[in-house]
Structure 1
Amino acid sequence: MKVINECTGPLTPIGERLLQANISSASQYTASWNGVSKYQVKGPWHDQHVVDMGQMTCSYRKWELTSMPCKHAIATINEMADNSKKVGELYTYVHKVYWLETWKSMYSFTFNPIKGSSM
């Protein structure tokens, strides 16, 4: 509980580290609007992926697998913000499993001791 009580911010320490790493990588990518809610994201190694903000998916698949916006999604969110679209806070795109609030609620319960393994 000591670690939980010392934490600040909306995300757990691990969630914050993962998000910051993706933010750092996203600065190397450029997103271009490709119609309705889709963006084509190009990277420094001539790699490119499609981000669908309506479905909250990326062809890279990391966003779907980790529930954390990947570098392509973050580049897209940055592009949307630059074009005056309402995107909200970045952490709102992160699954609730990485939220500090969820972490605190999971460890708020206590277990009463029992007399032995037969109990």
Structure 2
Amino acid sequence: MLVNNLCESFNGHILEVRQQSIITMLESIRVFLMERIQRRTTAMEKFELSIGPLIKKIIDDRVIESRQWRTIWNAVDGYQVRGPRGAQFAVYLKKKLCTCKLWDLSGIPCCHAIAAIHRNNGDPYKEVYDCYNRDLFLKIYQNVLYPINGQVMWPEADGVDLDPPERIVQPGRPKKVRRRDPTETQKTGNRLRRKIVIHCRKCGVAGHNAAGCKRGAGAEPTAAACF
């Protein structure tokens, strides 16, 4: 699922250039990646916390949500966290574990864990997994792409010139919208539709038009008589 989302996200960024020739498309992707690495590195260097801005926003929202949860400490490492509608979870801070499994799966403390962290006078921003560390992010983005000369200055290849493949036009309109995952819901189209009720201009009854009207102009507007 994660790999599919990454592929769809990347495919959405190259939606325009993927219709171009191979060399032009690859060069556009290279420039896009070079600029993206530069923008993300510059933004992270300006950020002062040990985590990124997106992770901070997630924790900020969960800190607000954690105010609805009441914690009970077992005097060792366990916390029983109880919240709205009788929900209850167990939190173990040393193991970075909550029985809701959100902390385990995402590496970011859930609202139950944050409630226990605050009870222990801790800092939830320091309890994220190391993969979200700012220094690690900058270390990864040290692998930059370097500028190159334009195509007119490229050396000529000694191989055989290859002709582009023959274009085969498939029937129907070519698809531009990405393919949805089977687990995604398709509510956008239904949300934008409006239900329109037509009225007959002869008899004024709803549900049919003048071409299908079995009565005539000036008739009594009774819906049952028109079917």
> Which consecutive unaligned segments of at least 5 residues does structure 2 have?
1-40, 149-153, 158-227
Pick which of 49-58 and 106-115 moved more: 106-115
Match of residue 7 from structure 1 = 47
Match of residue 84 from structure 2 = 44
Could you report, residue by residue, the CA deviation over 1:20-48 in whole angstroms, capped at 9, with x for unpaired residues? 11111111111101352111100022100
**Runs ≥4 residues deviating over 4 A:** 112-116
Give the structure-1-normalised TM-score.
Answer: 0.80
Alignment check: 8 A CA contact 1:29 1:44 kept: yes
Instruction: Give the Cα separation in 2 of the matches to 1:42 and 1:15.
Output: 25
RMSD: 2.2
Q: From the two aligned structures, give the one with the greater strand fraction.
A: 1
Instruction: Give the Cα separation in 1 of the matches to 2:82 and 2:100.
Output: 12
2:109 alignment partner, SS class: coil
Pick which of 67-76 and 51-60 moved more: 51-60
Aligned amino acid, residue 99 of structure 1: N
Alignment of 1:14-93 (within 5 A): 14-81=54-121, 87=122, 89-93=123-127
Give the structure-2-normalised TM-score.
Answer: 0.44
Instruction: Give the Cα separation in 1 of the matches to 2:45 and 2:92.
Output: 36
Q: Could you tell me the percent identity over the aligned residues? A: 25
2:139 alignment partner, SS class: helix
Instruction: Give the Cα separation in 2 of the matches to 1:76 and 1:4.
Output: 29
Structure with the larger RCO, 1 or 2 (CA within 8 Å, 6+ apart): 1
Aligned amino acid, residue 105 of structure 2: L
1:45 alignment partner, SS class: helix
> Which consecutive unaligned segments of at least 5 residues does structure 1 have?
82-86
1:22 alignment partner, SS class: helix
Could you report, residue by residue, the CA deviation over 1:53-111 in whole angstroms, capped at 9, with x for unpaired residues? 23210110000000011100110011122xxxxx3x32221112222222111112224
1:49 alignment partner, SS class: strand
Match of residue 97 from structure 1 = 131
Larger radius of gyration: 2
